[in-house]
């Protein structure tokens, strides 16, 4: 019985120290962002590998999510004779929730896992230690540009996801289901507010970008420098990011849309 409490206590303490390390790490990395401000090339390269290479999965998923949303929404709305509101339904779901959240989940799987594995392998092969001994701080040279790239890319990807979702919904709604194209757009225009809906969605994805990037780079930097350690860190990145994004989304939604 005491053994159980001991283990519970030990794992709680362990989680809290890890969280403390992660927060200090984040502060140091943010303080080290001056490096890429002086040398924007560092950031550009990361923006490409973190953002641009994630574009394909975001575009394709966005289209399909919008198309499915359109189908499902239509069958519910048509019972009430409200299929004219399809555009509103799709746009609100995407800007407020699905855009930021699904993008963050896909981002964790595509870019977050890649970041963790890359940094973890650099640690396991002593590349980070080597850099330190060459008087180059890996937190500034390697970590800060990657975290910043995640923070910048995720909101942009979420906007693209939302846009393509709406386009997908429009195609299915008007071409397949026969919703009037004018009604689709005008209802959306009348009922979706830029400040309340679009902007709040972007704020959400900014926070998700910070969280997803932070979890990914910290797990890589903090991993056990072995092949097993890197694999565990990569898995942890995807799991922890997904849970953190979903939990954070609940809190933000409760705060934003009362």
Cα separation, 87 vs 90, in Å, equals 5
Nearer to another protein, 123 or 236 (CB): 123
Q: In terms of DSSP H, where are the helices of the chain?
A: 2-31, 34-38, 40-46, 55-79, 86-92, 99-107, 113-124, 127-133, 138, 144-170, 181-191, 199-222, 227-256
Nearer to another protein, 72 or 125 (CB): 125
Q: Within positions 121 to 180, which residues make up the interface with another protein, using CB under 8 A? A: 125-127, 129-130, 132-137, 141
Nearer to another protein, 4 or 133 (CB): 133
Q: How far is the CB of 52 from another protein (least distance, A)?
A: 17
The residue among 176, 203, 160, 153 whose CA lies nearest residue 46 is 153
Binding of another protein by 53 (CB under 8 A): no
47-59 b/e (C-beta count within 10 Å ≥ 16 → b): bebbbeebeebbe
Cα separation, 229 vs 79, in Å, equals 54
Nearer to another protein, 129 or 239 (CB): 129
Q: How far is the CB of 138 from another protein (least distance, A)?
A: 11
Q: How far is the CB of 57 from another protein (least distance, A)?
A: 23
- Contact present, 245 and 104 (Cβ < 8 Å): yes
Binding of another protein by 38 (CB under 8 A): no
Binding of another protein by 247 (CB under 8 A): no
Cα separation, 233 vs 216, in Å, equals 9
Q: How far is the CB of 133 from another protein (least distance, A)?
A: 4
User: Site mask, another protein, residues 71-110, x = CB under 8 A?
Assistant: ----------------------------------------
Binding of another protein by 17 (CB under 8 A): no
Burial class from Cβ neighbours inside 10 Å (0-12, 13-18, 19+) for residue 9 reads exposed
Nearer to another protein, 127 or 186 (CB): 127
- Say what the alpha-carbon torsion angle 111, 114, 115, 118 is, to the nearest 10 degrees: -160
Q: How far is the CB of 64 from another protein (least distance, A)?
A: 33
Residue 4 falls in which region: left (phi positive, over 0), alpha (psi -120 to 50) or beta: alpha
Binding of another protein by 27 (CB under 8 A): no
Nearer to another protein, 140 or 204 (CB): 140
Nearer to another protein, 49 or 253 (CB): 49
- State the residues that interact with another protein by CB under 8 A: 125-127, 129-130, 132-137, 141
């Amino acid at each position: 019985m005491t053994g159980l409490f001991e283990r519970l206590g030990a794992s709680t303490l362990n989680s809290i120290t890890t969280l403390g390390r992660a927060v200090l790490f984040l502060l140091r990395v943010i303080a080290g962002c001056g490096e890429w401000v002086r040398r924007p090339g560092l950031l550009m390269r990361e923006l490409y590998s973190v953002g641009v290479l994630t574009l394909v999965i975001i575009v394709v998923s966005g289209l399909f999510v919008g198309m499915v949303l359109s189908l499902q929404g239509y069958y519910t709305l048509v019972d009430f004779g409200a299929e004219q509101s399809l555009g509103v339904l799709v746009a609100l779901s995407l800007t407020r929730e699905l855009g930021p959240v699904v993008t963050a989940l896909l981002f964790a799987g595509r870019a977050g896992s890649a970041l963790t594995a890359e940094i973890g392998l650099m640690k396991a092969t002593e590349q980070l230690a080597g850099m330190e001994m060459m008087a180059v701080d890996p937190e500034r040279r390697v970590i800060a540009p990657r975290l910043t790239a995640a923070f910048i890319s995720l909101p942009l990807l979420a906007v693209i996801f939302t846009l393509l979702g709406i386009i997908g919904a429009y195609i299915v709604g008007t071409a397949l289901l026969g919703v009037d194209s004018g009604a689709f757009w005008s209802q959306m225009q009348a009922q979706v507010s830029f400040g309340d809906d679009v902007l709040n969605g972007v704020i959400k994805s900014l926070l998700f970008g910070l969280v997803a990037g932070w979890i990914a780079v910290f797990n890589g930097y903090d991993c056990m420098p072995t092949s097993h350690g890197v694999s565990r860190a990569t898995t942890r990145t995807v799991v922890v990011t997904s849970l953190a994004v979903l939990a954070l989304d609940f809190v933000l939604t409760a705060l934003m849309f009362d």
